[in-house]
Amino acid sequence: MYTEHEVSELMLNDNQLRHLDKEGYLVVEDVINPVTVLNPLVKEYESVLDNLALELYSKGEIKELHEDLTFSERLTQIYMDSGKVHPQYFDFSLPQQGIKYDTPMWHGPAVFNVLTCPELLKVVESVIGSEIYSNPVQHNRFKPPEKYSPRNPDGSIQLGATAWHQDNGVVNEDADETDMLTVWIPVWDASEVNGCLHLVPKSHKEGLNVHCPAGGTVAIPNELFRVEDAISVPMKRGSILLMHRLTCHGSLPNKSDRIRWSLDLRYNPIGQSSGRLAFPGFNAKSQSNPESVLQNPAIWDSMWKEARKSLAAKENPNYNRWSSDNPACA
């Protein structure tokens, strides 16, 4: 654990802030404690995987529970045996469309502890100030090895490399002026082999690009930005990557034998729009009104369950502002 003094030392210095402003990204090492923060997260998700395995086994979708395998091996094998990936089962956000009363999601205390990690919030405070809102556009990401990943009927990989996008491009226009900060966290080491992020430095200075619908997601056409200037960003466990909301980024394919596991979080100043108002965020830190800070993960869980119930009963909002007939998508 960090002492109060050590936490205060995690404030970014002027050189780091200048780099983030100039380049649109910044890697900060040794922020998340692997033992006290990440290991409990892994343990919690082991129980979630247990639940998925039992559910699929009871439905006859898998014939073995594979309890003797490591977490990475077991998840990969269950995906292979069932013939499909199950990312929503582990996610702590809801899908953009098709929300049902029983849409799976996970909002456990270990996940909440990552979102509210004091060391992480101190770094975030350096960028957006001390009034910090945990934006609900947030995800758990398991990327299985491509050679083992289930395929779609057309032969494409169900869960592979992430297409080029800007985080500002997957929220509504009401968040275009929000000082949204992306925090990307590798739960295990992320390398070029297992599919780390890649990004285009300084692309945040060039505005918001068209994001074309593409196989259930969105993607920026390569012709619209400097894809040839992209760099990969391998990272060690415990480090974090900060990104501007307009930084063009994606991820490489996983060519390893193990899943690549990461979390992507977003924060913005309290009072600014999240860009997905139907999803529940919360005050993660506030100097002006500390009583408003959410400290109970059970309440966070109930907020999401209420949102799911509400959204399942009506047409879901549209968060994609571009259609496939846009000239840039032709």
pLDDT tens per residue across span 233-274: 999 999 999 999 999 999 999 999 999 999 999 999 999 999
Among residues of the chain, what percentage have pLDDT more than 70?
97
pLDDT of residue 5: 47
Question: Global pTM?
Answer: 0.95
pLDDT above 80 (res 2): no
* Mean pLDDT value of segment 112-127: 98
Most confident of 39-43, 168-172, 208-212, 314-318: 39-43
CA–CA–CA angle 10, 28, 284 (5° rounding): 60
d(CA 243, CA 312): 32
Among residues of the chain, what percentage have pLDDT more than 90?
90
Mean pLDDT of the chain: 95
pLDDT of residue 216: 74
C-alpha pair distances (Å), 4 with each of 8, 16, 69, 206: 6, 21, 39, 39
pLDDT of residue 8: 56
pLDDT tens per residue across span 131-142: 999 999 999 999
pLDDT of residue 120: 98
Nearest alpha carbon to residue 185 among 29, 295, 5: 29
pLDDT tens per residue across span 74-99: 999 999 999 999 999 999 999 989 99
Asked if 148 contacts 76 with a C-beta cutoff of 8 angstroms, the reply is yes
Q: Is the dihedral of CA 259, 276, 163, 94 positive or negative?
A: positive
pLDDT above 70 (res 4): no
pLDDT of residue 70: 97
Domains within the chain, CATH numbers bracketed: 11-329 (2.60.120.620)
pLDDT of residue 181: 98
Q: How far is CA 161 from the centre of its chain?
A: 14
**Quick one: pLDDT band at residue 194, thresholds 50, 70, 90?**
very high
